A and B are shown apart, each in its own frame.
Chain A
Amino acid sequence: MSWAVGALLGLSALAGLLVVLSRDPRRQVYALCANGLVLSLLFFALQAPDVALSEIAIGTVVTPLLFLVTLAAAAMNRARR
């Protein structure tokens, strides 16, 4: 299964690059979800199920959610000014 580890390492490098290259924050939220998913698959391939569980829950759900809510609150504050 060494090809799985190698392929997932390459995919995670690509996902990190996509997160940085998405300059619009609303697009970056989806890149962050993809990054969390790819990282959790990599952690599964590296035989770390506990780490993969927490990365799924946090990198795919909690962190992009906090980003979305911050962007919504910032848009409301900007509209209110």
Chain B
Amino acid sequence: MNILAWCVAAWLFGIGVYGIVTSRHYVHLIGCLSVCQSATYVLLLGIGFRWHAGPPIFYDHPPGTPAVDPVVQALVLTDIVVGATVTALLLAIALQMQKRRGTLDPQHLRPFRQQK
């Protein structure tokens, strides 16, 4: 249990990179990229977690009750929202590529190749 969170983060990142390398469709590739992003979320929140502590919101509990780290939660929070917009940008690029080249297969779309 001591190292499970770090192992899960490393596993998610590794499997995401494997999915990117062996992908045959650009939209599938962007999904694997979001798996890599979720690896960082798991790692960051795992760093801040403390056993038998509550959330860092002191509305019902008085300030001074044990709470988890709020700094990493702030990082992950903005990261999730901005990551969604970057995913949208990547999807727009994939859509434009599909309009110009007619295919979304990374094996057939090599850079600097003459347009068929």
| A/B touching: CB–CB < 8 A | yes
Residues of A near any B CB (own CB < 8 A): 2, 5-6, 9-10, 12-13, 16-17, 19-20, 22-25, 28, 31-32, 35, 39, 42-43, 46-51, 54-55, 58-59, 62-63, 66-67, 70-71, 73-74, 77-78, 81
CB distance from A52 to the nearest CB of B (A): 10
Q: Are A47 and B98 touching (Cβ within 8 A)?
A: no
Kindly report which residue of chain B lies nearest to residue A43, judged by CB atoms. Answer: B45
CB distance from A74 to the nearest CB of B (A): 5
Which residue of B24, B31, B68, B95 contacts A47 across the interface (Cβ within 8 Å)?
Answer: B68
Q: Are B91 and A25 touching (Cβ within 8 A)?
A: no
Q: Are B81 and A16 touching (Cβ within 8 A)?
A: no
Q: Are B27 and A20 touching (Cβ within 8 A)?
A: no
Taking the complex as formed, is B57 at the interface, i.e. its CB lies under 8 A from any CB of chain A? yes
Q: Are B98 and A77 touching (Cβ within 8 A)?
A: yes
Majority-rule SS of A interface residues: helix
Q: Which 6 residue pairs spanning A and B have beta carbons closest together?
A: A20-B19, A25-B27, A16-B12, A70-B91, A47-B55, A16-B35
Produce 1/0 per residue, B52-67, CB < 8 A to A. Answer: 0111010000000001
Which residue of A6, A12, A54 contacts B38 across the interface (Cβ within 8 Å)?
Answer: A12
Which residues of B have CB within 8 Å of A2?
A: 1, 51
Q: Are B41 and A39 touching (Cβ within 8 A)?
A: yes
A9 with B15, Cβ < 8 A, contacts A16-B35, A42-B42, A46-B45 known? no
Q: Which of B51-107 contact A (CB under 8 A)?
A: 51, 53-55, 57, 67-68, 73, 76-77, 80-81, 83-84, 87-88, 91, 94-95, 98-99, 102, 104
A70 with B38, Cβ < 8 A, contacts A6-B1, A54-B80, A78-B102 known? no
